[in-house]
Amino acid sequence: MIKNPFQIIHDTTPPADIPRGAVIALGNFDGVHLGHRTVIAAAQKIAKSAGQKAFALSFEPHPRSFFNPAAAHFRLTNEQAKLRLLAGTGLDGAVVLDFNAARAATSAQDFINQELVRRLGVSGISVGDDFHFGKGRSGSPATLAEQGERLGIKVHIQSHVDLSGLPISSSAIRASLAEGRIRDATAMLGGPWFVSGTVIPGEKRGRELGYPTANIRLDPHVDLKHGIYAVRVGLGGGTDPQRFDGVASYGRRPTFDNGPPLLEVFLFDFNADLYGQTLDVAFIEYLRDELKFDSIPALIRQMDDDSLRARAVLEAAPGAFPTLGAIG
């Protein structure tokens, strides 16, 4: 049986194109971590028992960015990455609502009436126990449960998910990435953290050193620890990309120019032009801190050692890669 394409509903989607009676998982879903996936799985279970579709509902931009645009906000996943991860969970689609001044001023009750009931016609809702919505964050899971009983909408409230006694959260994952604790981040996410980016021209120093790199400029708010990583790279997107193992440096290149942060990826056993192509780079393990070398030979010796270590790490984790779905 062929599954229907992942459907994305926006504020501009015509009512005729919105399936009535769907069950929604409600949240921001930054990172689509294990806690989020538990909320999503509950929505899918309710939908399956009712013969309905299951969607995730989130907001763009992230409300935190809207309310405090001047503050640096490290998002684990931009909109595109989040949707690909949501599609990978087996959901039927996602509702992406614009978070703007009008929506920020909408009361919790009006949001339920106008969006969930009138526009989407939901039959069920799954939500984490710490999610709030509506003007002044006045809406809570308890609000949804109360209104759901009145409106005949099944509401599931998911308690917080812990891992080894520690609560899973997007902020905890950000902290792990900032400290180079890649294994901790992977455990909370349920798979490797990844970034996507277009390969840009560089200084071609890597080619001269015998390590030609694909260079990607990440969002300036990405707070990933500077250093060397074992990575697995997806090329071609979609649900079945080509995959290559490699080693990557993220940082300022202190041996050369100490410039703005740049992700430089060296793919093992690969020899082709990648300029202009989009890569998915999954971070499998942190290898070492970024260092300044006194000589080029010393740098090359360290790069040789980094490559050997990265190959060993990746060989021990042959299937490590995020589960991504196609979003069209």
Identify the pLDDT of residue 259: 86
Reply yes or no on whether the pLDDT at 2 is more than 60: no
pLDDT at 297: 94
Q: Using CA atoms in the order 256, 258, 262, 268, what is the torsion angle rounded to 10 degrees?
A: 30
| Residue-level pLDDT at 154 | 97
Q: Is the pLDDT score of 214 beyond 60?
A: yes
Give the closest residue to 234 by CA, choosing from 121, 321, 147.
Answer: 321
Percentage above 90 pLDDT, the chain: 86
Q: What is the pLDDT of residue 1?
A: 46
- pLDDT tier for residue 4 given thresholds of 50, 70 and 90: confident
Q: What is the mean pLDDT of residues 172-176?
A: 97
User: For 296-306, what is the mean pLDDT?
Assistant: 95
pLDDT at 209: 86
pLDDT of residue 3 exceeding 80: no
This prediction's pTM: 0.95
Give pLDDT, residue 239.
Answer: 59
- pLDDT confidence of residue 93: 98
From 64-68, 205-209, 303-307, the region with the lowest mean pLDDT: 205-209
Mean of all residue pLDDT scores within the chain: 94
